[in-house]
Structures are given as structure tokens and as C-alpha cells.
Amino acid sequence: MNQPVLIVDDDADVCASLKNYLESINYPTFVANNISKGRTLLAQERIRAILLDLNLPDGSGLNWISEIKEEWPQVAILVITGQGDVPTAVHAMRRGADHFATKPIDIDDLTIILEKCLEIGSLRRATGLQARHKTKESPFFGKSAALAPVIEEARLAAASEAPTLLQGETGSGKTLIARWIHEQSARRNGPFIEINCGGLRGEMLASELFGHARGAFTGAVDKKQGLVEIADEGTLFLDEIGDMDPEVQSHLLKVLETKSFRRLGEVRDRRSDFRLICATNRDLQQEVTRGKFRQDLFFRIAVLTVSVPALRNCLSDLPDLCYHILKSMSRTIVISQEAVERLQSYQWPGNVRELRNVIERAVLLCGSGPILPKHLPFDTPGMIKEDNSVEDEIRQKEADHIAEVIARCKGDVGEAAKILGLSRATLYRRLSAAKRK
């Protein structure tokens, strides 16, 4: 069963009775006699349900419900109190309680109610995961000799809990492989949380990873969960980890060593059980030699490695890859042999990402098909048009607008992403691209 339950009640006899019963039916159970201790246990343990009394020595359990729903939204709340009046029940439910019962409660009823509450919590987590995974694409594992080791290394990583480092050029498909590893692993039912470390610096990146307390820094107008916390029981994917600031590298190393972290501006330790996958387009061993990346952190994140080859080294797989991309777009358009040969004559510095852009453009130009050489953005075989002045100007204007929105949101990237209508991952990628420009 392994769904930890927290009892928050100042009556020692009630706590002892409930704890003994819950542990007898295989619920790991923790006890707190006040709100303060309850907060600490919620931060440190993966609590799935709370049995909450409303009259506590250091505050009102009724008022605490709102904080629980904000900080730990997937935790089910069962209010058990001697105050069995209807108005109290209504207030508790309005603030987010999942069920309300009065003392003394029948043990058989408690079992049924608790199971229902835990089921509600599981549904909340599943709904959150479905929203995150609404659009996903499977990686393409071809038949070329260059890709054979990738398949073997990825399968080994999926069968393991060890930190894994994906190495390869920009656009080679590292993010898709990271997601595939997660979906084939024992943590497939947990969240897959990704962040591009190249798009954020210093305090802003630390805030995204570890969260912050209200007033922790200028612009921190409210408390915030970090991605490390959100990734509990799932996978945290750090893209372009080679761009991470040294100070944040130190914080991450401590989290990996102690399995605990603190939000910026807090002194309370929190725990998160996540699997780490990282990706980089840099030679991290060379970065270690140059003093740009911590050696101890490198050893921590590279227990397993997956080397993703460049597309130019797998050109024999290109025809099948093109059809894989078309299938992911739900298109049944045919590519002519002449167009395939033209595509195979190009070296693809932008790898699979660039190929996808070329295919998407060709689909728009060819109508119902087939895709012909004239639908490809090539002047001559092996050459793509270099007149990108208009595109560069558009990208610069977009980058300026993104920076303006982030500044307006006082550095809150999540809020900026909502205003811009982008996912966080997309916003990070665009910030990273603007930085490279």
C-alpha cells in the first residue's frame, strides 16, 4: 500500500489509537500534535493523506487547510473533530477538505473514508500528469550502426535508477530520449519535469529548481514550489546542464548528496525522491578541466551515459526518420526519391530539430503531396539559404518581448509563460536561443 498518512491532533490518546490501527492495515503513519510539526512532516515525508483536527494549540486547523491545498495540492484531507456542526463542515469543504467526520469515528467507516480520500489524491496526481504529458512524441530508434549503442544505453538507463547524462549536439533528440527513459522506467507513473538550464542564471535558476519563500529576494512576492519538489516520485530532466552557474551547481550537488533541499529564504529542510537525467551539448570532462564545471557534480550526474549521434552520422536512417516525423504530424504524405536524396546530401548542423522544421515547411508547400525537391529550402544540394536577416530580426523582437514580460512579472518565469501562452520548456528554449544569438 505504502501511502503515508499524517495525523495532526493534540489528543495523545486519539493519535495513539489511530496510529496503531492505521499501521495494522499497512499505512505508514506519522503523528503531529500541532500545525508547526505537521508542516515539518509534510515537507520531509511524502504524505498522501492528513487526518486533521480543527482545534490545535498553535492555530486553527480550518485556516491551515488553505495553506495545505496551496503547498501540497495532491494531499487528501480528512477533517476529524468534535465540532460536528454543519457550518464547520461547510467551511472545511469549501477550503479544500475532501471529507468531514466527527469524533468518535467508527473504525470501519474510517477505513472506507480514508480509501476514498486517497483515491481522490491519486486522481489529482494522475490528472496533473495527463496535463503535462498531453502532447508527447516517441523517439526514433533507427537501424544504423551509429544508433545501435544508443538503444542499448537507453534501455539500460530505463531499467536503472542511476543518474543519467545524455550527450549530443543541439537538436539531436536528447529531450525525447530522456522522456522515453522515464516512460519505460519504474517511475513512469510519476511526473516528468524538465528545465533548460541555459535560459536562466543564478538566483532565477535556483528559484525555479528549489522554490522560494515570500520575500526571499526582490520580486519574490509570493512563495513558490520548485521543480525539485514537483518532481517527487518522478524524473527531473536538466537540459543543457553545462550552462549551469557554479553556485547553482553547488546547491544541486548538496541536494543529490543529502536527498534534501531548502527553498530560497527558508531554513526548513524538505525532501524529494526524484530520478535525475541531465543533457548537454558540451564536453563536460573538458569543462571540468577548464574549471567551468564541478568534477564532483560530474561524477554524480554521469553514473550512466548515453551518447546521441549527430544526424549526419545516421543518414541511412533518414528516409524512415522522415516518415516517422510525418506520422507524428498525422500526415500520410509521400516523399519523392529525389527529395530524399536531396535531404541525404545535406549535413544537418541542426540535426533532427532542423529536419523536422524542413519537413513541416515542405508539408505546407506541397499541399496533398508528394514532397518534391522544389518544396525543400535548398539552393543546391548540401546548401540551405543563408539569408536569415528577416528571421534574425523577428527572433530579436521576440527575445526583447519575452525579456520585457519576465521583467514585468518580477522574474516569475511561470507567470511570464502563462501571459505569453507558452509552456515553461518552450520559454526556456527561446531564452536559450536568444542568448546564443
Q: What average pLDDT score do residues 309-328 get?
A: 91
Mean pLDDT of the 213-232 span: 83
CB atoms within 10 A of CB 31: 19
| Across 366-385, average pLDDT | 72
User: Which of 133, 164, 183 is at the close of a domain?
Assistant: 133
Task: Check whether residue 261 and residue 282 sit in a common domain.
Answer: yes
> What pLDDT score was predicted for residue 401?
74
Residue 289 binned pLDDT confidence (cut-offs 50, 70, 90): very high
Pairwise pLDDT comparison (357 vs 107), residue with the higher score: 357
Q: Is residue 402 part of a domain?
A: yes
Boundary of a domain, candidates 328, 344, 375: 375
95-115: burial string, b at 16+ Cβ within 10 Å, e else: bbbbbbbeeeeeeeebeebbe
**Residue 214 shares a structural domain with residue 95:** no
Contacts of 425 (CB under 8 A, 6+ apart): 194, 195, 196
382 within a domain of the structure (yes/no)? no
Q: Is 392 helix (H, G, I), strand (E, B) or coil?
A: helix
What confidence score (pLDDT) does residue 83 get? 58
Answer with the one of 247, 272, 307 that is the final residue of a domain: 307
Classify residue 276: in a domain, yes or no. yes
Highest mean pLDDT among 117-121, 189-193, 329-333: 189-193
| Averaged pLDDT score across all residues of the chain | 84
CATH of the domain at 82: 3.40.50.2300
> Are 213 and 357 in the same domain?
no
Across the beta sheet with 5-8, the strand order is 29-32, 5-8, 49-52, 76-81, 99-102
Rounded mean pLDDT of 176-195? 93
- 316 and 406 in a single domain? The answer is no
Between 393 and 257, the higher pLDDT residue: 257
Distance CA 60, CA 57 (A): 8
- Would you state the pLDDT for residue 308? 94
**DSSP letter assigned to residue 329:** T
Q: Residue 206 in contact with residue 254, Cβ under 8 Å?
A: no
Sign, CA torsion 241/244/247/251: negative
**DSSP letters along 222-271, please?**
S-EE-HHHHTTTSEEEEETGGG--HHHHHHHHHHHHHSEE--BT--S-EE
Residue corresponding to grid cell 490501527: 21
Q: Is the pLDDT reported for residue 17 higher than 60?
A: yes
Structural domain contains residue 203: yes
Inside any domain, residue 191: yes
User: Do 194 and 294 have their domain in common?
Assistant: yes
Same domain, 392 and 371: no
| 381 assigned to some structural domain | no
pLDDT of residue 310: 93
Higher pLDDT, 420 or 232: 232
Do both 265 and 192 map to the same domain? Answer: yes
The helix (H) or strand (E) run that includes residue 131 is: helix 107-132
Same domain, 204 and 271: yes
- What are the CA-CA distances from residue 362 to residues 104, 134, 225, 333 (Å)? 70, 26, 42, 10
Position 319 scores a pLDDT of 92
Mean pLDDT of 13-23: 90
Assess if residue 383 is contained within a domain. no
User: pLDDT digits over 376-435, tens only?
Assistant: 887 444 444 444 454 565 567 677 778 777 877 777 887 777 777 677 777 777 777 666
Q: Are residues 277 and 176 in the same domain?
A: yes
132-158 per-position pLDDT tens digit? 444 455 678 888 888 889 999 999 999
Q: Is residue 343 within 8 Å of residue 308, measured between CB atoms?
A: no
* Domain harbouring 399, CATH code: 1.10.10
Q: Tell me: do 220 and 293 sit in the same domain.
A: yes
Same domain, 19 and 121: yes
Same domain, 295 and 317: no
Q: Is residue 139 part of a domain?
A: no
Domain count, the chain: 4
Does pLDDT of 1 surpass 60?
no
Q: Range of 422's domain?
A: 388-435
